[in-house]
Structure 1
Amino acid sequence: MAYDNTCKYLAETYPEEFAKWLLSTDTSNIQVLKTELNLEPIRADSVTFLQTSNQILHIEFQTQPQSTPPLDFRMLSYYVILKKQYGCDIEQVIVFLQPSNSEMVFKTEYVDKNTRHKYRVIRLWEEDSAPLLNNPALLPLAALAKSNSPESLLQQVANAVDMIEESEEQKNISACTQILAGLRFDRSLINQLFREEIMQESVIYQDIIQRGEQRGKKQEALQLITRLLTRRISNLNSEIQQRINALSTTQLEDLGEALLDFTSQNDLTSWLDNNS
């Protein structure tokens, strides 16, 4: 998830650069949409929505093609809800970060009996590195682009990062580059070319560490609550387990107190209906 969240950070910090790259258009009137689309059970921290003057750019970053529900269906779901909510043109792009032979990375549409929905796919390992190297906001992605000599490409990226004049921007771009480079290169090579202390001082690195700690706390709480519920009201069916998995850490803590009064699965279902 750190890889996807890194790309999301970049797209939301540099929306104009990403719109220019993916839409081939220059515009300064771009808004990052922080919108709740109520797409349960669709959850994706890697989703970014950029609204230009006449359309929405929906970007989804993925390291792995596996997803529940499948990515092609997710793109259709997002499209329908965005269209209903905003009523404008929508350009959808999935950016795959890591090479894969999965059929999903080559699919560009969702097809059902009565429905066909198209979207764009970028396989980053097939992309020309030059446009990415020429834009500081896209340097982290350049490390994953097409190259006959990946190590030389990473050196070029490192040199370009060193040329960034603004100190805070350099720290954050360096951190993002080092994180994404981990998908392709050994950590020893990355450490040779980049200063680790710059990464640790960056905003994005600290944010990822914090997110990791939060996910760790939630996972611990989830495991404990599941064990307690199983002992108290027997096995949980898959639907109930999914609803519990979707709870926040605070909600799990509240459930831990409430379950002491449960005598049946109906009590749990009622609590979820009132608190989810």
Structure 2
Amino acid sequence: MSYDNTCKYLAENYPADFARWLLASETSDIQVLKTELTLEPIRADSVTFLQIANQILHLEFQTSPKSTPPLDFRMLDYYTRLKRQYWCDIQQVLIFLQFTSSEIAYQTQYVNTNTIHKYRVIRLWEEDPTPLLANPALLPLATLAQSNSPEDLLQQVATAVDMIEETDERQNISACVQVLAGLRFDKSLITQLFREDIMQESVIYQDILQKGLQQGEERGKKQEALQLVLRQLTRRLGAVEPQTEQQIRALAIAQLEDLAEALLDFTSQADLANYLTNISPA
């Protein structure tokens, strides 16, 4: 999603601004940790780790409270991985971008039989926009802050963006503003206040576009592999049952390629069923 790339771009390019906002820290000694930790990385909307002196700030942005594993457990999981690897103080902030009434967004700890793990939660729609409007790096988040007149707030953000002197920064912040504003405002209003050509010249827009093209290429490759496997199976074993076809459609490209080789040894539908039972889903 473009929201993921936007939040990650902001946190990693303006770490001192996020540290000042969330930790009241004025230090410039900040390092963005490019790490997947240990074990398999957890799938999340947007996660950034900032090492600030002798502590780590774990930032996680969410557009939806739905998550596998659940968000509260995920915060515990990240905490234990970070603690194991860096053994320092860890501050965790879970930032919800889009309004939700889900109780998960109002939950600030993971509780189990012998475990209580606490973390901080920010619901942007409840946040005072004033400190966000005062910092160019946080202007994109200001579009989602508390306001009795959201359209007036968006106008304030647009005015603040126009006041950014450095051209590249103005283009990139404008692009980030437009992406996150899309969570709250109609596209027509956004285009009225922001020039689309400025957005298209920005780094973040080009990054979003490139990732979109890559994802499109991957989907195309998978579709080709899927059609080839289904044709081969039909020719060798006859019509594939709908439930079995659904399992095949869930496979990743590499798994489809493996199946294309393995099916040459199949002699019955049972061979196919056994093969699918013994591999993990994508």
Matched with 2:94 is: 94
Residue number in structure 2 paired with 1:8: 8
- 1:168-179 paired onto structure 2 within 5 Å: 168-179=168-179
Name 2:217's counterpart in structure 1. 217
Tell me the CA shift for residue 256 of structure 1.
Answer: 7.1
Aligned 1:75-86 pairs, distance under 5 A:
75-86=75-86
Instruction: Measure how far apart 1:102 and its partner are.
Output: 0.7
Q: Provide closer, same or farther for how the CA distance between residues 222 and 118 of structure 1 changes in structure 2, counting only shifts above 3 A.
A: farther
With normalisation by structure 1, the TM-score equals 0.86
Superposed, 1:33-52 pairs within 5 Å as 33-40=33-40, 42-44=42-44, 46-52=46-52
Question: What's the Cα RMSD here?
Answer: 2.8
Contact 2:143 2:177 in 1 (8 A): yes
Unaligned runs of 5+ in 1: none
Gaps of 5+ in 2: none
Pick which of 88-97 and 221-230 moved more: 221-230
Cα distance in 2, alignment partners of residues 47 and 32 from structure 1: 11
- For 2:150, the equivalent position in structure 1 comes to 150
Are 1:65 and 2:65 an aligned pair? Answer: yes
What does residue 129 of structure 1 align with? 129
Amino acid at match of 1:168: D
2:42 match: secondary structure: coil
Classify 1:225/1:154 alpha carbon distance in 2 versus 1 (closer, same or farther; 3 Å).
same
Kindly state the Cα deviation for residue 112 of structure 1 after the two structures are TM-superposed: 1.1
In 1, distance between residues paired with 2:265 and 2:81? 37
SS at match of 1:121: strand
Indicate the larger mover: 91-100 or 255-264. Answer: 255-264
Deviation at 1:226, TM superposition (A): 5.2
Contact 1:229 1:259 in 2 (8 A): no
Q: How far is the alpha carbon of 1:182 from its aligned partner? A: 0.5
C-alpha spacing 1:168/1:68, structure 2 compared with 1 (3 Å): same
Following TM superposition, by how much is the alpha carbon of 1:219 offset from its aligned partner in structure 2, in angstroms? 3.1
**Runs of 4+ off more than 6 Å:** 265-272
Instruction: Report the counterpart of residue 114 of structure 2 in structure 1.
Output: 114
1:96 partner amino acid? F
Change (3 A) 1:51 1:267: same
Residue matched to 1:56: 56
Letter of the 1:64 partner, please give it. S
Looking at structure 1, the residues matched to 63 and 245 of structure 2 have their Cα atoms a distance apart, in angstroms, of 31
Give the residue type in structure 2 aligned to 1:193. L
Q: Normalization by structure 2: what TM-score?
A: 0.84
Superposition deviation, residue 151 in structure 1: 0.6
TM alignment of 1:249-264, pairs within 5 A = 251=254, 255=258, 258-259=261-262, 261=264, 263=266
**Overall identity of the aligned pairs, in %:** 64
Superposed displacement of residue 122, structure 1: 0.2
Mapped to 2, the partners of 1:121 and 1:229 lie a distance apart of 46
* Paired residues of 1:225 and 1:252 also in contact (CA < 8 A): no
SS of the aligned residue for 1:66 comes to coil
Aligned-partner SS, 2:56: strand
Return the alpha-carbon distance in structure 2 between the equivalents of residues 262 and 60 of structure 1. Answer: 47
**1:262 Cα shift?**
6.0
SS in 2 for 1:132: helix
1:202-241 equivalences in 2 (<5 Å): 202-225=202-225, 232=233, 235=244
Assess, with a 3 A threshold, how the Cα gap between structure 1 residues 7 and 41 changes in structure 2: closer, same or farther: closer
- Matched AA of 2:199: M
Identify if the C-alpha distance between structure 1 residues 60 and 195 changes in structure 2 by more than 3 Å, giving closer, same or farther: same
Q: Within 5 Å, give how 1:160-175 maps onto structure 2.
A: 160-175=160-175
Distance 1:53 1:201, change over 3 A: same
Could you list the per-position Cα deviations for residues 149-202 of structure 1 after superposition, in whole angstroms to 9, with x for gaps in the alignment? Answer: 111110010000000011000000000000000111111111111000000111
The AA in structure 1 aligned to 2:217 is K
CA distance in 2 between partners of 1:258 and 1:44 (Å): 33
Q: Which residue is equivalent to 2:22?
A: 22
Shift, 1:228, TM fit: 5.7
1:133 is matched by which residue type in structure 2? L
Report the alpha carbon displacement of residue 221 of structure 1 after superposing the two structures with TM. Answer: 3.5
Paired AA for residue 184 in structure 1: R
